[in-house]
Structure formats: structure tokens, C-alpha cells
Amino acid sequence: MDAKTCIQKLQYVGVLAFATVDSDGAPQVRNISAIHYEPDAIYFFTARGKDFCRELLADGRVQVLGYTKYKEMIRLSARAVPAPEDEQRRWMDVIFAEQPYLANVYPGDTREIGVIFEIRSGEIEYFNLGVRPILRGSYAFGAGEPRAKGYEITGDCIGCGTCAAHCPQGCIEPGAPYAIRQEHCLHCGNCYEKCPVSAIRRREG
Ligand code: SF4
Ligand code: SF4
């Protein structure tokens, strides 16, 4: 798995959930399909008068979520910015050509109320619940950097094996110290709660 494959999978999903933060700090989420996909970037259309557009212009942080029929969750965290002025027309034409329904929503020159935003860098998390053990990964694209999440076992481990016995995915390996196979970890925290000597800590992003 890699960032490009994740972006491709988002394209197959087609309709994605876009979450932003409003001026009160409250989450706002909506489905968007007016999207064009490049191998390492996405472009999407919205209208200037919409709260979505205002939130993107004011803050820019966005999370994009897709879920495939194979139980793969793909979450992209990024900042969206308006595409350069001299590219707005080009990407708008591309998106309207790829999504014919848009011509019904914004017929004729009413599409001029639209703004094209671009996401060219960020972090993508991939999480596949359809296999055992589950599979996860974090990938950067553009100038983005993946953040460490979940749990890790420290040198305070006394090797008792309690965490491994209570891991629902069997992804803790014996050793000195024991170790979590991060690509199979649910981030459920059961090992963290069960460790008798508090040798497991959260990974900070
Ligand atoms: S429960 Fe704690 S001390 Fe025991 S093996 Fe796991 S990390 Fe080490
Ligand atoms: S967080 Fe959950 S899945 Fe991950 S190692 Fe701990 S118990 Fe296992």
C-alpha cells in the first residue's frame, strides 16, 4: 500500500465525506463527489457562498474519508487551498466533464460561482478491517508527514506476556521488551490497560 494507491481507491469510492471545522470549532461533514483525481493530488469543486467554502478559506484543514466495499477505511488529512487563479477554469472544466450531473446543478454560466480547491500534500491513513490480522499504514504525499499513533512498549517491560494474551489481533511479539507489530494494531488500548507495570505508552504524533 502507498499514498497513490490510497488516492486511487478513494477515486473508486467516488463519493467522499469531507470534514472541516467551523468558526465555533465544531466539526462539519458533508459528502462530495465533484472531485478530480491526479496520482498525487485531488481537486474539488464547491460554491463560494457555501459554509464549506468559507470554512476552507478560513481554516483550510480538512479530513476526507472513504470506505470501500472491502472494508478498507482511507482517511486523508490535509490543508485545502484554492487552486491557482490561472488553473481554476482548467480544473473546473475537467470536473464538469467527469461529473455530468454537475451541469444540471450549475447549468450554463452559473458554474462561475464555483471555486476549485486543491489538496497537494498531506497524510493518508489506510485501515483494512476485512483481513486478519487487520492491516494499517500511514503514508505522506507531497510535503505531508505521517504522525505516529497508537501504542508502543517501553524498556520498562518485564516480559510477563499479559499484553500479548489480551491483544485481540495477536500482534504483540515476545522479546525484551515485547513489541507491537504496528501494521496490525487496532489502537484499541487493551494492552495499555492490562500491563501491570505501565510499560506501554501512547505514541505521540
Ligand atoms: S504486559 Fe507490560 S510488562 Fe508484560 S509483556 Fe506486556 S508490556 Fe511487558
Ligand atoms: S492496542 Fe490493541 S491491537 Fe494494538 S497491540 Fe494493544 S491490544 Fe493489540
Task: Give the tens place of pLDDT for each residue, 40-69.
Answer: 999 999 999 999 999 999 999 999 999 999
How far, in Å, is the centroid of ligand 1 from the Cα of 156?
8
Q: Which of 101-105, 141-145, 183-187 shows the lowest per-residue confidence on average (mean pLDDT)?
A: 141-145
With 80 as the cut, is the pLDDT of residue 93 above it?
yes
C-beta neighbour count of 190 within 10 angstroms: 15
How far, in Å, is the centroid of ligand 1 from the Cα of 172?
10
Measured by CA distance, the residue closest to atom 4 of ligand 1 is 160
Mean pLDDT for 70-82 is 97
* Closest ligand to the CA of 199: 1
Task: With H, G, I as helix, E, B as strand and everything else as coil, classify residue 182.
Answer: helix
Topology agreement, domain 3-141 and domain 151-202: no
Give me the residue label for grid cell 464555483: 114
- CATH architecture of the region 151-202: 2-Layer Sandwich (3.30)
Spans of all domains in the chain: 3-141, 151-202
Task: With H, G, I as helix, E, B as strand and everything else as coil, classify residue 126.
Answer: strand
- The superfamily CATH assigns to domain 3-141 is Electron Transport, Fmn-binding Protein; Chain A (2.30.110.10)
Residue 92 identity: M
Q: Which of 152, 172, 185, 195 to mutate to test the pocket of ligand 1 (most atoms within 8 A of CB)?
A: 195
How far, in Å, is the centroid of ligand 1 from the Cα of 141?
35
Task: With H, G, I as helix, E, B as strand and everything else as coil, classify residue 138.
Answer: strand
Determine the pLDDT at residue 205.
66
Q: ω before 100 within 30° of 0 (cis)?
A: no
How far, in Å, is the centroid of ligand 1 from the Cα of 41?
42
Determine the pLDDT at residue 104.
96
Q: Is 204 exposed, middle or buried, given 0-12, 13-18 or 19+ CB atoms closer than 10 A? A: exposed
* Closest ligand to the CA of 198: 1
Determine the pLDDT at residue 201.
98
Q: Which is it for strands 114-119 and 81-82: parallel, antiparallel or unpaired?
A: antiparallel
Mean pLDDT for 130-153 is 92
